[in-house]
Every structure is written in structure tokens, then in C-alpha cells.
Amino acid sequence: MTWEFATAGRIVFGAGVRHQLSDLAADLGTRPLVVVGAHVARNATVRAAFEAARIIVHGEPTLAAVREGVATYRRDACDMVVAIGGGSALDTGKAIAALAPNSGDPLDYLEVIGRGRQLETTPAPCIAMPTTAGSGSEVTRNAVLGSPEHGVKASLRHARMLPRIALIDPELTLTLPIDVTVTTGLDALTQLIEPYVSRRASPLTDALCLDGIGRIARSLPVAASAEGASSLDARTDMSVASLFGGLALANAGLGVVHGFAAPIGAMFPAPHAAVCAALLPHGVAANLRALRARAPNDPAIARYAQVAAVLTNDASATAEDGADALLQLCRRLGVPRLATFGVRGEHLDEICRRAQQASSMKANPVVLSQDELKKLAMTAI
């Protein structure tokens, strides 16, 4: 058994910890570049940062936003980055922090579509403060960037891209709209299930995954309800689960659902979390079918049964019961299908061809054929 575990330099978690932001930032630098998401002005602390923001991220992060951020960082002689928002703003901030001290274009450093050049100079210090409970980006070492002109999305990845401080205040999520609570919460659930059955799982990520899955099973339906949306207990569970998902995926990898997320997110105007939410039950079902057919003794099947037991709170649940429970959960929470974002049957050959090459696919517990991928995606359309 060989594994390693790396994370942010420091994780500060709890209701009200957002008020520590200026003190924590003062330890790292004097001129922060503040990156915020377009929809984060819900809270006074965040609003203050919003006013100071030099970069505002609209929608999914792009190479253009990162180029603009790097130029601003250098022009204004900044010495650190503060990123506040959903996964898009955090990824943009992390990418700017990584590239500001390094020469060349962001594309040079991207996996899959770029040249995969390694960072030579240590990134600028970065504080990541999530305002959703989903991406876990505050503790991951990559940033997923899109290039709309190329129609692609790929990761900028380096161990040194782990933020210096992850500052997680569940109170910031109390006012999240229900649809965002649902899709980001299901993205977090995907980021706990995929690392749990990953080829790179470790005892440390296993513990985080099972704990996080239990929190989401119990608290996502509450946080996504009109009466429960303002429950700090439910929101705290979701923020812990999202953090654990980030810790798990950064150290154990992902799987087929995230393999699809990159091409679909690049080819259609679909938020990452919504794509993962739409695909999650079908990805689990497809993996199970392939494992039963080709590797009936694979330990991943027992792992899916453990996930099912936690999801259903029934120790006798089978792996397939877990896939059914996920399908019921998605229906109950009104998760939109992929067709909502324009995905049609005629796009599937291209989507599946690109999904095969996605970096997330490498950790999937079973190799899926083009035909199996197509059937999986068809059920989510």
C-alpha cells in the first residue's frame, strides 16, 4: 500500500470564519488581487471584497479571464490572490496565482490541449474562500479552464497550485438558490463517490468519502428544501462534504462522470455541477454493469455496495440499490437533463471520443467502451 496525501497549507472552517479574511491575507501579502464570482454579492464580507475585486468571473473560467487576471496582477504589482466564489472563481484565482510569476501563455501549461509545460516558479500565495458547497476547489491542485474558441476545457495542474489557505464559512451558503444548492451538492457527492471507487483510493480518502457521502445523504434534501435552506446544520454538513470531496479527488482522482464533464462543459453552455448531477446515477449504473460483466470479483463492486449502504441507510443494500437511490434523489430534487443544455444524440460520438481522453477517466474502476459510454450518456440526455 503506497499513497500520499497533499492539501492546502491551512484549512480554516466554521460559521463566521469569513471575518478572519483580512487578518489571514495580511500574513501573506500586502496587495491582493481579488477574484470574485459574478453572483457572490450576497453577504457583507463578500460584498466588501466584491468592491475591491479587480477580476470578476462570469460563468465558467476561461483562458481569456486568466490572461486578463495575470496582466492585471503584474500591472498592479500584486503579491497574492484572494479568490471568493464558486468553483469557477476559485479555479480562475488559482490559475492566476500560478501563472503570474511564470512566463508564457496559459495555454502552454494546460493538459490535453496545451503543451503541459511545468511551472518553473512557485505560484503566488492564494486564499480560496468558497461560497457554494460543491467544487472543493479550495483544496485541489488544478484549475479547469475553458477555451471557447477551441471548444475545449482542460486542467492546469501542479502540486504547488494548492491554495495556501482554504477559508470555508458555511454561512456564506445560506442564501444559495435551491437549483445551485442541488447541482453543486450533487457535484460534491460525485466527487466523493468517484474517488471512493477509484484505482487510486487510499485509507485516508476512503474515510473522508464515506463520512462526506453520509452528510450529503442526510443534509442535501434539507438544504435543497424551502424550509431547510436556512438550516446552518444542513449547510455545514454540505460545506464539510464539499471540502472532503475536494480532499478526496485531489488525492485519489475521479472517474467517468468527470470524464464527460470536460467535453460537455466545453461544447455546451452547461455549468460543471449541472453536468455531473445529470450524469451521476447513470455513471454509477454503467460502471456496475461493466464490472459485473467483465470483472465480477473486482473490489469496486463491494465499494459501490458500501456507498449504497450509506446512501440508503440500509446495511443490506446492494451496489445497484445505490444507483437506484441516486436516480430517485436526482428525480426528487428536479435535476435537469443534459438536453436542457442542448446536448442531443447526434453529439454523442464526439462527446464520447473526447471523454475517453479526459484525465479523469484514468481513475475510473473499469475501462468503458465507446459503445458503453454512448449508452450511458444517452440515458442522461
* CA 222 to each of CA 30, 216, 227, 297: distance values in angstroms, whole numbers, following the listed order: 41, 10, 8, 37
Write the binding mask 118 to 157 for Zn ion: x where contact by CB under 5 A, - elsewhere. Answer: ----------------------------------------
Minimum CB separation of residue 347 from Zn ion in Å reads 20
3-state secondary structure 223-245: HCCCCCCCCHHHHHHHHHHHHHH
H/E stretch holding 81 reads strand 80-85
In angstroms, the CA 281 to CA 357 distance is 22
In angstroms, the CA 56 to CA 289 distance is 43
Residue placing its CB nearer to Zn ion in the complex, 276 or 285:
276
Residue placing its CB nearer to Zn ion in the complex, 34 or 139:
139
Minimum CB separation of residue 73 from Zn ion in Å reads 27
Which residues between 201 and 240 bind Zn ion (CB under 5 A)?
A: none
Minimum CB separation of residue 190 from Zn ion in Å reads 6
Number of residues that bind Zn ion (CB under 5 A): 2
From 27-35, 185-193, 216-224, 287-295, span contacting Zn ion (CB under 5 A): 185-193
In angstroms, the CA 301 to CA 286 distance is 12
In angstroms, the CA 88 to CA 311 distance is 28
CB 288 within 8 A of CB 320: yes
Minimum CB separation of residue 185 from Zn ion in Å reads 11
From 150-158, 208-216, 276-284, 321-329, span contacting Zn ion (CB under 5 A): 276-284
- Close Cβ partners of 374 (under 8 Å, ≥ 6 residues apart): 348, 349, 352
Minimum CB separation of residue 258 from Zn ion in Å reads 6
- Close Cβ partners of 312 (under 8 Å, ≥ 6 residues apart): 217, 321, 322, 325
From 40-48, 75-83, 269-277, 278-286, span contacting Zn ion (CB under 5 A): 269-277
Residue placing its CB nearer to Zn ion in the complex, 80 or 280:
280
Residue placing its CB nearer to Zn ion in the complex, 53 or 252:
252
Q: Which of 60, 91, 138, 187 binds Zn ion (CB under 5 A)?
A: 187
From 104-112, 226-234, 270-278, 330-338, span contacting Zn ion (CB under 5 A): 270-278
- Closest by Cα among 33, 184, 188 to 95: 33
- Residues found near Zn ion in the complex (CB under 5 A): 187, 276
